[in-house]
Amino acid sequence: MQLKSIHILIVDDHPMVIEGLKTLLSDDERVIVKTHFINGTDALSYLQKDTADVILLDVNLPDINGVEMVPKILNTRANIGIIGLSTYSEPSIINQMIRNGVKGYLLKNATADELVNAIIQVHLGNFYFGSEVQKILADSVTQESSNLPKLTRREKHVLTLIADGKTTNIIAEELFISPLTVETHRRNLMQKLEVSNAASLIKVAIDKKLI
């Protein structure tokens, strides 16, 4: 089935970027740039009375940053597809955009084919992340995993029992080890997680999803 043309709204504070995107998309009849804005406030005002199929949204805007813009857009037009299109390649920003509701994210050096493909996929309700963005996110996950402290099987068991509120003596009885050994495990855990007390030990362990 032939797709009807997808209407695009561009929100970017650089007029040259907007003109470049319009030129980049002008040769493809599957997409039409409906309008554009150089700030978030005007774009949100427009969406109060009109809409588009897909928004190409920069992160760095002069009034409202793109991360904050996403939920505001979706509160107004829940069915609109949003693609983050930015020079920002920090995993934290990309993940914030995803959590807030974007369906895609591309860096501004994306090719015309990749941009059109992203627009089509997001319009169809799918997710689309550029090849560079996928690598950035994969590398960040690997980095996070490598930063986790390496716990032994027994340390993990002791950590779980500490989180359950059990005393050194009770842990020793359950694991058939001496209280001194439990205390040694406790000290090792606090050293590995860089904390100084049991409360902090449990909090950090939960934050790092170790228990």
* Domain regions of the chain by residue span: 6-144, 153-207
Overall residue count recorded for the chain in this entry: 211
How many CA atoms are closer than 13 Å to the CA of 143, on its beta-carbon side? Answer: 8
Secondary-structure class of domain 153-207 per CATH: mainly alpha
Half-sphere exposure of 46 (CA within 13 A, CB side): 16
Could you tell me how far CA 41 lies from the centroid of its own chain? 23
- Least Cα distance to 198 among 181, 182, 174 occurs for 182
**Would you put residue 122 in left (φ > 0), alpha (ψ -120 to 50) or beta?**
alpha
Record the tokens describing residue 186, joined without a space. 């406790």
Interatomic CA distance for residues 140 and 143, integer angstroms: 5
Query: HSE on the CB side for 14, CA within 13 Å?
Result: 13
Q: Which candidate, 25, 55, 60, places its Cα nearest to that of 46?
A: 55
Q: What is the mean pLDDT of each run of 10 residues along the chain (211 residues)?
A: 82 95 93 97 97 96 94 96 93 89 94 94 93 83 66 89 89 93 91 84 80 74
Q: Token pair of 56, please? A: 């190409």
Q: Find where tokens 């090719």 sit.
A: 111
d(CA 137, CA 125): 21
Phi/psi for 131 (5° steps) reads: -60, -40
pLDDT of residue 1: 46
Amino acid found at 19: E
**CA angle, 114 as apex, 141 and 99 as ends, to 5°?**
40
What's the pLDDT at 207? Answer: 75
Q: How are beta strands 81-86 and 6-11 bridged, if at all?
A: unpaired
Class of the CATH domain delimited by 6-144: alpha beta
Question: Do residues 111 and 66 lie in contact, with contact meaning Cβ atoms separated by under 8 Å?
Answer: no
pLDDT for 146: 59
The predicted pLDDT at position 211 comes to 74
What is the helix (H) or strand (E) element at residue 125, kind and residue range?
none
Q: Report the pLDDT value the prediction gives residue 103, as an integer from 0 to 100.
A: 93
